[in-house]
Structure 1
Amino acid sequence: MQTLVICIDRDNDLGEKAKMGTPIVGREANVQAAVALGIADPEDSDTNTIFGGIRILDELRAKGVDAEIVSFAGDKNVGVISDQKIAEQLELYLQMNEVQRAIFVSDGAEDETLVPIVQSRMKIDSVKRIVVMQSENLESTYYILKHAFSDPKISQTFFVPLGLAFLIYAIFLLARYPEGAVVGILAAVGLYMLYRGFGLDDIVALEKEKLWDAFLEQRMVFISYTAALLVSLVATVYGAMEVWKLYSAEGVWYHGTLTLISVFINVSVWWYAVALLLADMGKIFDLKTDGRPIYRNISISLFVIATGLLFWGASTYILAAASLSDGTFSDPTLALQYFVYSIAIAILIALAGIKYSLSNQAPENEKRVRGRRKSKKVL
């Protein structure tokens, strides 16, 4: 095949609205897909993208070019997941068909972010953007805003912070503590902005899909991750309750921010450590069942324990210095000794994890080298 016309539907409108699987190969199949999508949602721009690709295909064939059209769709979770699905479909198609060059067809800049992914696998001669001409009524401000806010990507960015603010304000009013509403709203909106700003939504969506696959495949990692999530929730609530006791009694200015943070860490650090260990144990069980190496996960577990020791030792000393500890750790000098001991033990545990990982990594690398040599001999 000389030229491949590629139509991209990054947010999988073909699957979500027209209920059609991809890739869709061939002129007739794409015509049917475009018609089905147009009937399901006449305002979807991906319909015009496919029709634009069909027109380009007809022009190429009229010139005697050996061309074909194929439509790829991603996932409603636009980002890492959708791009991976399109890349997998493209690689599978290229394995079954020889393609010299391609023409990339999209409906906007968002789909065109996939150009480097396609370009890394074949030569792209042209990028064609299909722009729909609208009437004056459709260009009105109301129409633009209405359809912008109906887009999940825009609505989540705009409505979720507002919804969080209103919900938190209502909760504080019911609790008869309106003064804390401002702090709660700023904290919630700030966390949400950090969540979106660092791109954690893509990571969470990817992990959620992996977790669902683990549930369908009946793997232990689903149970261990669920248990880890519940333990983390308990740790957060327990730590927040302990901090609230001090905050409501004397206030943040009496104890200081560092002391309150140390209280939270001291009472919850081992809960979080147990949660991470539970998640890692599930991975170790599944890897062992599949006959794959587990040395990296064991070393991660050792590092979790070492890190927990460091945070516990430091927070214990800070609380002892602030006269907030009871019993054995109330003496700052003794707490300092425990902090030093925790550092030493954490270093020893981390070194043990590193040594275990390196000692098992060497034989694994040798197996891989032998496998490559055998494959070369067979070829």
Structure 2
Amino acid sequence: MEESAKRVLILCVDLDDDIGNKTGLETPIIGRENVLRAAERLALLDPEEADSNAMFASVKLSDDFSKSGYLTEVCVVSGLKNGGLDASRKAMSEIMHVAKLFSPSEVYVVTDGFGEEDIEPVLKARLPLAGVRRVVVKQSRAIEESYIVLGRYLKMLFTDPRFKRWVLGLGGLLITLFTVLSHFRSYEEVNTVFWSIVGITILIKGLDL
């Protein structure tokens, strides 16, 4: 049965390595029971962490395929805390390591919905990627809790070192430049300089230059 069954690999991708930073666990984490224990540990340490939900969803997806007669393996791979190209390279290295061990005929990616889009084209080019599932936590009080979630992400923008240097640093620079330039130049010139700086910054960040 196992020889003829399709081999399905379920990958839970944590590109910013929350699992490693918060639990101290090293990736890849391979196997249903190991992934479950890691998800429980992460959920206990940080009940609001979205990656634990993605890990539970990975196990459920693996179980669903197993019930349908597929031979499955589930694992968690991670990148690096600060993201970027190095994080993608690390995650891809772990993915290829697991794929070499399991030799899947189909690969499914499960994420918490943030940031993992960068590795999907590379993954699709190197493995038989059959689907991507983004796990979004349901809110029991939609409107009220939407504001709470939004507040948490806004707080993260101003407290997380990965984001605050762009939000506060760039914001402060632009306000200062706008104020100084407006004192000496016309509105049209100030507006041109302002948006040129914004555009260059977005380009640098987007291309990881």
TM-score tier (shorter): 0.7 to 0.9
- Partner SS, residue 130 of structure 2: strand
The amino acid of 2:180's aligned partner reads V
Say which is worse superposed, 129-138 or 144-153, in terms of deviation. Answer: 144-153
1:163 matched to 2:172? The reply is yes
Cα separation, 2, equivalents of 1:22 and 1:189: 42
The amino acid of 1:132's aligned partner reads V
> Is the CA contact (8 Å cut-off) linking 2:40 and 2:52 kept in structure 1?
yes
The amino acid of 2:155's aligned partner reads F
1:96 matched to 2:105? The reply is no
Cα separation, 1, equivalents of 2:58 and 2:50: 13
1:198 matched to 2:198? The reply is no
1:58 matched to 2:63? The reply is yes
Aligned partner (choices 110, 114, 119) of residue 115 of structure 2: 110
> How high is the sequence identity, in percent, across the aligned residues?
24
Aligned partner (choices 18, 31, 34) of residue 36 of structure 2: 31
In the TM superposition, what is the alpha-carbon distance from 1:196 to its structure 2 partner?
A: 3.9
In the TM superposition, what is the alpha-carbon distance from 1:112 to its structure 2 partner?
A: 3.2
The amino acid of 2:204's aligned partner reads F
What's the counterpart of residue 129 of structure 1?
134
In the TM superposition, what is the alpha-carbon distance from 1:191 to its structure 2 partner?
A: 5.1
> Is the CA contact (8 Å cut-off) linking 1:38 and 1:47 kept in structure 2?
yes
1:13 matched to 2:11? The reply is no
Aligned partner (choices 145, 155, 160) of residue 138 of structure 1: 145
Cα separation, 2, equivalents of 1:143 and 1:53: 23
Q: Which runs of 4+ in 1 moved over 4 A?
A: 186-193
> Is the CA contact (8 Å cut-off) linking 1:10 and 1:74 kept in structure 2?
yes
In the TM superposition, what is the alpha-carbon distance from 1:200 to its structure 2 partner?
A: 7.6
**TM-score scaled to structure 1, two decimals?**
0.45
Higher strand share: 2
What's the counterpart of residue 68 of structure 1?
73
> Is the CA contact (8 Å cut-off) linking 1:106 and 1:130 kept in structure 2?
yes
Larger RCO, structure (CA 8 Å, separation 6 or more): 2
Q: In the TM superposition, what are the counterparts of 1:295-374 in structure 2 within 5 Å?
A: none
The amino acid of 2:135's aligned partner reads I
| Greater gyration radius | 1
Gaps of 5+ in 1: 170-179, 204-379
Paired residues, number: 190
The amino acid of 1:194's aligned partner reads I
Cα separation, 1, equivalents of 2:149 and 2:74: 33
RMSD of Structure 2 on Structure 1 (CA): 2.9
Higher helix share: 1
What's the counterpart of residue 186 of structure 2?
none
Cα separation, 1, equivalents of 2:88 and 2:151: 28
What's the counterpart of residue 3 of structure 2?
none
- Partner SS, residue 81 of structure 2: coil
What's the counterpart of residue 87 of structure 1?
92
